[in-house]
Amino acid sequence: AQKVTQAQTEISVVEKEDVTLDCVYETRDTTYYLFWYKQPPSGELVFLIRRNSFDEQNEISGRYSWNFQKSTSSFNFTITASQVVDSAVYFCALGAPNQGAQKLVFGQGTRLTINP
């Protein structure tokens, strides 16, 4: 069975600090996809990144970076020099086409608060 665990329920940091959100996944599939979504206070879900299981290269997009390590089944998300606008709930998700093409399994979410 597929499972995603985000052990950090809530994180609170001061603006400009770096912060890492952890994501650990479980799957028996060799082909799978990992995602991060952001849910700002307005409530919508915003896609951040998609990574397939064959690409372990780290990704950087501005202040955001993602570290994918198959050896530890982790797909962690780091925000560098955090800003108040980064305050949101962040979800990690796992998709495996062989398990049903329509399914994304989500973690519990991490609520990130950036204090001025």
Partner 1 sequence: EAQVTQNPRYLITVTGKKLTVTCSQNMNHEYMSWYRQDPGLGLRQIYYSMNVEVTDKGDVPEGYKVSRKEKRNFPLILESPSPNQTSLYFCASSSTGAGNYGYTFGSGTRLTVV
Q: Per-residue contact track with partner 1, 8 to 27, x per CB under 8 A? A: -x------------------
Does position 35 bind partner 1 by CB under 8 A? yes
How do strand 24-26 and strand 3-5 relate by DSSP bridges?
A: antiparallel
Q: What Å distances lie between residue 116 and 43, 49, 82, 83, 99, CA to CA? A: 22, 26, 10, 8, 43
Asked if residue 91 binds partner 1 (CB under 8 A), the reply is: yes
Note whether 107 binds partner 1 by CB under 8 A.
yes
Q: SS3 breakdown of the chain: % helix, strand, coil, rounded to 5?
A: 10, 50, 40
| Residue numbers at the binding site for partner 1 (CB under 8 A) | 4, 6, 9, 32-33, 35, 37, 43-45, 47, 50, 91, 93, 95-97, 99-104, 106-109
